Amino acid sequence: MIKTRLLLFLALLFWYDLSGQYHAGISGSNYQALQNAVVNPSSLSNSKKSFDIQLIGGHLGFQNNYIFIPKADNRFGNKINLAANAFQLEFPGFFDEDYIFDDRITPSPKYGNLNLRISGPGFMYSWGNSKIALSFSSRLVISGKNIPYDVAKFAYERRHYPSLHQTRHDHNGSISLATASWMEIGITYSAIKDLNRNFQFAAGFGIRRLFGLHGIVMQSNNLSYTMINSDSLHVYRLKGSLGIALPIDYDNNRFLDPANAVQGKGFAVDAGITVIKTASNSRYKLTAPAGAYTDYEYRIGISLLDIGLIHYNGNSGMMHFDGVSGLWPGLDSLKTNSVNKLKEEIRSVFSESGNISETNAFNLWLPSALGLKFDYYIGRNLYVNALWIQNLSINDIQLAQPSVISITPRFESSFFEMALPLSLRHYHEVHLGLVLRAGILTIGTNRIGGFLGFNDFEGFDFFFSVSAGLCKLRYQRNYNRFGNCYPFF
């Protein structure tokens, strides 16, 4: 039987925010073909690898602007205990003396998201000037956007916050909280073409089939309410939606048979182009064999990412509220031990005002983004990469991700690589990271300060990849080579 604590866990995680599903530290590497394709599909074409296989990769990231662990309590042991409790679905109460989180009492809107991605296996193969890649991934995203401070505070204090009681709160903007998990299988094609002796042009396109395992979305365009006390809520007006798709029996919260685990399906596409300024010492490249790697001075690319949706039509449903109102008493003693009982409670509160409709299916859009990437070769294996990811709002019923700008200097060779990503998230939060690659193993983080206890702990970010392959023929005067990328492999 699914635990109520699991649903609570999913609800609480909307304070967190994705530290970046597009890893700033490795997105510019010439030895990370499959990982680069996540940022721009055309990046496959200019990789130093002719064949690449990712055995496994993963990313776990969260960060937020509301709850945090103060620097004084930001010790490694506290974070280990927090992680252990999370895996066991055990969480201390907000009023417990050993509760190590605090909240930021500021009136600004709160945002949050958590991202978990497990990738692999993945394959990339090139022939001539073309490349094709096949990838498998499992993903979990939990996101909250434009959460009003009073809503966040009532959730944090479990409605026990008298300073905000007896006050009418009006919110006319879009508020959203969404979570989804899915598996995906994708294929990406990229090709490169010589424009002249100085420039190359690459284009790539990817399509992925999505298999949705669960989806929950709560969205409002107009909310007006008063928390009379911790036990009673008066909603003056609510215009929004509540969608639920879970692999459980809604009468008793028991998991369905694994054969019924998929609750929806969909598609997503990625597309990108890259313009490459070739290095002056590659002036013989026009006589090189097709598919040979050419050094560059700089390259600049633009891409559209995660454009798609999951259509939930299995064990799913959505409630639409068109200006409903009602009084909701008895919150302290409310017990809803099943999804259907929760829906019945909601109907009983708002039924008299009417304007409630229900459907058996709904669409949830992915966290779409616009990407812009610039990579410059300084010399002596030194590069600097600039990356801009801008969140795209396509629909109100959509997962979200933060916008980010990053500058990443890196040193790379066939065996060793180090990068220091400096990122600006939501255009005001500065984070420093560290990425290391040795042979087939890459590990890194985009925010090392909070993890090491240098400042308040507002989030966490960690990623890794195990991949290997064959390097391309590198074509320059007096230098022709084809073979393994790593001296020991």
Looking from the CA of 113 toward its CB, the CA atoms found within 13 Å total 27
Would you say residue 123 lies in a domain? Answer: yes
| Angle at CA of residue 393, ends 319 and 142, nearest 5° | 60
Would you say residue 489 lies in a domain? Answer: no
Q: How far apart, in whole angstroms, are the C-alpha atoms of residue 128 and residue 179?
A: 42
Please tell me whether the overall predicted TM-score, pTM, comes out greater than 0.85 for this model.
yes
How much is the pLDDT for 197?
Answer: 82
> How is residue 82 annotated by DSSP?
H
Q: How far apart, in whole angstroms, are the C-alpha atoms of residue 87 and residue 89?
A: 5
Would you say residue 242 lies in a domain? Answer: yes
Contact between 487 and 413 under an 8 Å Cβ cutoff? The reply is: no
Q: How far is CA 484 from CA 119, 127, 226, 319, 382, in A?
A: 23, 17, 66, 56, 21
Helices (H) and strands (E) in the chain, counts: 5, 24
Neighbours of 170 (CB within 10 A): 11
Looking from the CA of 389 toward its CB, the CA atoms found within 13 Å total 28
How many structural domains comprise the chain?
A: 1
Its domain, for residue 142, covers 4-484
Neighbours of 26 (CB within 10 A): 26
Q: How far apart, in whole angstroms, are the C-alpha atoms of residue 451 and residue 42?
A: 34
Would you say residue 312 lies in a domain? Answer: yes
Contact between 368 and 350 under an 8 Å Cβ cutoff? The reply is: no
Q: How far out from the chain centre does Cα 36 lie?
A: 16
How much is the pLDDT for 102?
Answer: 82
* φ, ψ (nearest 5 deg) of residue 273: -130, 155
How much is the pLDDT for 46?
Answer: 81
Q: Is 64 left (phi over 0), alpha (psi -120 to 50) or beta?
A: beta
List the pLDDT tens digit at each of the 489 positions of the chain: 333 333 333 333 333 333 345 555 566 788 888 888 889 999 988 888 888 899 999 999 888 888 887 776 655 555 555 555 555 444 444 445 555 678 888 888 999 889 999 998 999 998 888 999 999 999 999 999 999 999 999 988 889 999 999 999 999 999 999 999 999 999 999 999 989 888 999 999 999 999 999 999 999 999 999 999 999 999 999 999 999 999 999 999 899 988 899 999 999 999 999 999 988 755 444 444 555 667 899 999 999 999 999 999 999 999 999 999 999 999 988 877 899 999 999 999 998 888 899 999 999 999 999 999 999 999 999 999 999 999 999 999 999 988 999 999 999 988 899 999 999 888 888 889 999 999 899 999 988 876 666 667 777 888 999 988 877 655 444 334 444 455 433
Contact between 100 and 144 under an 8 Å Cβ cutoff? The reply is: no
